[in-house]
């Protein structure tokens, strides 16, 4: 059998030939390219020539090219369109790839060559980018246990393999819980729901095979508006309890024992590597550097956010009691009364806003902003992708091909929850002028056939957020793939994405692209004014639910692992004074950022760390009274978007802004400063 994953791709832009790739191709392709990578690594380690940057570091950069190509295709497809066969492959690949990674990082002969280069680095005549790659490579080997010996070395290998298995299981359990639950709505249950929500519930029923009925699923773009608009408190409670119980339902998909084991293994791993805690180990390479620095930032924001949330809770409680509902304001009540309050105070509700936020128009808005800022243009491509809902564009600048951009926007039962940006191919120059293939994945409610896809304001921000990540990939201009695009410090990676969100709120962008789905008329200026004035509305709630997750994540990893996971979570929230009607944005058993891999472990704070910068960075445009100022945009691309991880993150920000920001701009942006409102 000819395996298309092992053949040269003659498709446009060397896109993966999705029309001929089958699930049966993945395992043989991984085995074959894994063997190739092992041979390449052995050739580097056993090279009789003296170590040089070219025969060691650059050779390492190229050694896994075929394997990277296969895995990039597989994991993009497995995350966005899972099948039982793909889930089984994920379980098979996880320990195999972890073992391979440990082989490399603990290859003594290979590390001796890297260590030799590091010792002679000042005499090698390296460029600044090469020096950075050498430092990062040497550091990654040290942090992976290259100097460990004997039992400690073997134990770390075992830990890494087990963590890979557990992370895969965590993500698959969460997807199973999300896929396995629906709330069927009888005709009378639709009373009070806006048209867009009824339509979305009908489309979800069709996607789940429920015929012409209506269902609520655990997709955020469906369950949140249901919690906002359903007057049925009993149904809101049922939906909310299912949403917050993901990963903690008992049985085969329960994640609590998995998390307990993950935390214990991470703590043990940090100890083997000489660190006091996993948080200390993880944060060493980030901008924050230490757990104390993270905690200091989060608590500076927690106090005003909690105070604002408590004030808002009092108002919502009074509204609920005026409805004749006795008892405490509960988490399943907050969004319902908050939506009603926003309607009363700002003359806004989601049903009025959504018709102006069509998906296609918001995609065009993001493209338009990118064109005005960076001169890039987007042309639709008629190519076969991994799912019919996905679509692609060629990205060019001045007639030169820059990237392929893939957008996959609709929720489906085969897609894991959330939104993310990934790359099927990353930019680099070492193996030729390799341009990226970048993918944005979201989970917006799919409309009924023939109807326009309407976004909530939060959905539209998510689209801009993920597109900011995509620009970071597409505008990358470095030599080495290991530092390309979003390969930066975790608490810096969210800067481009969160910064790009600001352009969605530029009035001229809304005026041009926020057009009514039926009439085509632009959003009235009065409505736009009310909408922009209300952007800080309910930020006490939003900030508290986020910070609670970030602080629990940090506490779990900064010290010994908890003996009783959920008890410790409850203790942390109690110590913080968590308001009763607000819960963590991601409760521990469903906290995929932190436990389906270790990308955001000890680092969920990074969204807020980056927000301190993005609030300040957008002020660079405001200071010249032009959100599309060409000089500021040029500096942003030169110092942030094109450089990847080729320079230390703090230095990059200093080059762009001339100083590091304080927390003040963030508090102002969220309406949590002394003058804030909403």
Instruction: Identify how many contiguous H helices and E strands the chain contains and give both numbers.
Output: 27, 7
Q: Is residue 44 part of a domain?
A: yes
How far is it, in rounded angstroms, from Cα 644 to Cα 471? 11
What is the predicted pLDDT for the residue at 675? 43
Same domain for 187 and 66? Answer: no
Average pLDDT over residues 117-135: 98
**Residue 510 within a domain:** no
Sheet holding 420-425, edge to edge: 376-381, 391-397, 400-410, 437-444, 420-425
The reply to whether 466 belongs to the active site is yes
How many Å apart are CA 662 and CA 648, to the nearest integer?
19
The model's confidence at residue 665, banded by pLDDT at 50, 70 and 90, is confident
> How far apart are alpha carbons 129 and 97 in whole angstroms?
28
Strands (E), 154-227: 183-185, 214-216
Tell which residue, 97, 95, 88, has the closest CA to residue 37.
97
Domain boundary among 211, 226, 245: 245
Q: The tokens 């440990």 sit on which residue?
A: 102
| 125 and 33 within one domain | yes
pLDDT of residue 119: 98
Strand partners, 301: none
Query: Does residue 674 surpass a pLDDT of 70?
Result: no
Mean predicted lDDT score pLDDT of the chain? 96
State the CATH number of the domain containing residue 65: 1.20.1050.40
Tell me how far apart the alpha carbons of residues 459 and 473 are, in angstroms, rounded to a whole number: 21
Q: Answer yes or no: do 204 and 141 share one domain.
A: no
Using 50, 70 and 90 to split pLDDT, how confident is the model at 678? very low
Split at pLDDT 50, 70, 90, the class of 28 is: very high
Same domain, 110 and 26: yes
- pLDDT score of 561 more than 50: yes
Same domain? For 92 and 206 the reply is no
Decide if pLDDT at 677 tops 50: no
Q: How confident is the model at residue 1 (pLDDT cuts 50, 70, 90)?
A: low
Round to whole Å and give the CA distance between 132 and 483.
Answer: 9
pLDDT at 208: 86
Give yes or no: residues 44 and 125 share one domain: yes
Domain annotation covers residue 645: no
* Gap between the Cα atoms of 284 and 278, Å rounded: 10
Residues 28 and 119 in one domain: yes
Same domain membership, residue 210 and residue 132: no
Question: Regarding beta strands 400-410 and 437-444, do their DSSP bridges make them parallel or antiparallel, or are they unpaired?
Answer: parallel
Structure tokens at 184: 């069927």
Which of 206, 223, 245 delimits the end of a domain?
A: 245
* Final residue belonging to a domain, choices 96, 125, 147: 147
472 within domain boundaries: no
Sign of the alpha-carbon dihedral angle for 614, 619, 621, 622 = positive
Domain count, the chain: 2
Residue 209 has pLDDT above 90, yes or no: no
Does residue 91 surpass a pLDDT of 50? yes
Q: How far is CA 179 from the centre of its chain?
A: 20
Let me know if residue 50 belongs to a domain.
yes
546 contacts: CB under 8 Å, gap ≥ 6: 585, 607, 608
Domain shared by 21 and 131, yes or no: yes
Q: Are residues 23 and 68 in the same domain?
A: yes
Confidence (pLDDT) at 207: 87
Q: Using alpha carbons only, give the angle 642, 643, 649 rounded to the nearest 5 degrees.
A: 130
**Residue 461 lies inside a defined structural domain of this protein:** no
Residue 56, in any domain of the structure: yes
- Pair 116, 222 in one domain: no
What confidence tens digit (pLDDT) does each residue in 185-194 have? 999 999 999 9
Q: What is the pTM of this model?
A: 0.95
Domain that holds residue 21: 4-147
Tokens of 74: 């597989």
Which residue out of 58, 61, 350, 466 is catalytically annotated?
466
Q: Are residues 143 and 196 in the same domain?
A: no
% of the chain residues with pLDDT over 70: 99
Distance of CA 203 to the CA centre of its chain: 26
634 in any annotated domain: no
Residues 526-531, mean pLDDT to the nearest whole number: 95
* Residue that has been written with the tokens 């608009």 in this structure: 229
Question: Six-digit token pair at 585?
Answer: 């944005």
- Reported as a pLDDT band with limits 50, 70 and 90, residue 449 is confident
The SS3 assignment for 639 reads helix
Of the candidates 430, 438, 434, 503, the residue with the CA atom closest to the CA atom of residue 472:
438
């Amino acid at each position: 059998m000819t395996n298309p994953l092992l053949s040269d791709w003659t498709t446009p832009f060397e896109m993966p030939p999705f029309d001929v790739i089958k699930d049966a191709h993945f395992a043989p392709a991984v085995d074959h390219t894994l063997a190739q990578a092992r041979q390449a690594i052995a050739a580097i380690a056993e090279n009789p020539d003296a170590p040089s940057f070219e025969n060691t570091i650059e050779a390492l950069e190229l050694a896994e090219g075929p394997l990277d190509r296969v895995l990039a295709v597989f994991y993009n497809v497995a995350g966005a369109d899972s099948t039982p066969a793909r889930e089984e492959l994920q379980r098979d690949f996880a320990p195999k790839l972890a073992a391979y990674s440990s082989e490399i990082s603990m290859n003594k002969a290979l590390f001796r060559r890297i260590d030799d280069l590091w010792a002679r680095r000042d005499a090698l005549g390296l460029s600044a980018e090469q020096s950075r790659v050498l430092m990062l490579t040497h550091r990654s080997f040290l942090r992976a246990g290259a100097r460990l010996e004997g039992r400690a070395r073997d134990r770390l290998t075992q830990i890494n393999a087990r963590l890979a298995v557990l992370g895969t299981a965590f993500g698959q359990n969460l997807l199973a819980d999300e896929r396995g639950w629906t709330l069927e709505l009888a005709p009378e249950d639709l009373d009070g729901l806006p048209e867009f929500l009824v339509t979305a519930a009908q489309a979800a029923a069709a996607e789940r095979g429920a015929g012409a009925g209506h269902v609520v699923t655990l997709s955020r773009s469906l369950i949140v508006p249901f919690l906002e608009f359903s007057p049925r408190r009993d149904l809101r409670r049922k939906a909310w309890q299912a949403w917050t119980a993901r990963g903690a339902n008992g049985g085969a998909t329960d994640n609590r024992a998995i998390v307990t084991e993950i935390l214990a293994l991470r703590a043990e791993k940090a100890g083997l590597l000489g660190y006091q805690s996993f948080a200390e180990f993880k944060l060493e390479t980030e901008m924050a550097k230490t757990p104390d620095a993270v905690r200091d930032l989060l608590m500076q924001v927690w106090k005003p956010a909690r105070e604002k949330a408590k004030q808002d809770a009092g108002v919502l409680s009074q509204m609920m009691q005026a409805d004749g509902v006795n008892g405490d304001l509960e988490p399943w009540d907050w969004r319902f009364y908050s939506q009603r309050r926003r309607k009363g105070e700002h003359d806004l509700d989601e049903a009025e806003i959504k018709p102006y936020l069509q998906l296609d128009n918001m995609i065009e808005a993001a493209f338009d902003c990118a064109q005005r800022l960076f001169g890039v243009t987007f042309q639709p491509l008629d190519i076969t992708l991994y799912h019919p809902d996905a679509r692609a564009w060629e990205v060019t600048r001045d007639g030169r091909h820059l990237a392929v951009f893939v957008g996959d926007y609709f929720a489906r039962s085969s897609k894991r929850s959330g939104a993310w940006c990934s790359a099927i191919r990353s930019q680099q120059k070492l193996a030729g002028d390799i341009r990226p293939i970048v993918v944005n994945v979201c989970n917006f409610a799919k409309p009924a056939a023939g109807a326009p896809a309407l976004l909530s304001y939060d959905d539209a921000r998510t689209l801009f957020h993920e597109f900011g990540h995509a620009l970071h990939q597409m505008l990358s201009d470095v030599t080495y793939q290991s530092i390309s695009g979003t390969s930066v410090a975790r608490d810096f990676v969210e800067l481009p994405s969160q910064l790009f969100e600001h352009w969605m709120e530029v009035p001229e962008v809304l005026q041009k692209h926020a057009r009514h789905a039926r009439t085509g008329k632009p959003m009235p200026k009065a409505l736009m004014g009310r909408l922009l004035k209300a952007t800080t509305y309910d930020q006490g709630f939003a900030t508290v639910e986020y910070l609670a997750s970030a602080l629990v994540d940090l506490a779990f990893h900064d010290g010994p692992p908890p003996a009783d996971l959920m008890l410790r979570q409850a203790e942390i929230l109690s110590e913080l004074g968590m308001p009763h009607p607000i819960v963590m944005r991601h409760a521990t058993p469903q906290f995929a950022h932190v436990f389906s891999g270790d990308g955001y472990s000890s680092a969920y704070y990074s969204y807020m760390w980056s927000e301190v910068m993005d609030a300040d960075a957008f002020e660079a445009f405001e200071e010249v009274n032009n959100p599309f100022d060409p000089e500021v945009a040029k500096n942003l691309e030169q110092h942030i978007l094109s450089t990847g991880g080729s320079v230390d993150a703090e230095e990059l920000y200093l080059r762009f802004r001339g100083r590091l920001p304080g927390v003040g701009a963030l508090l102002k942006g969220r309406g949590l400063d002394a003058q804030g409102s909403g």
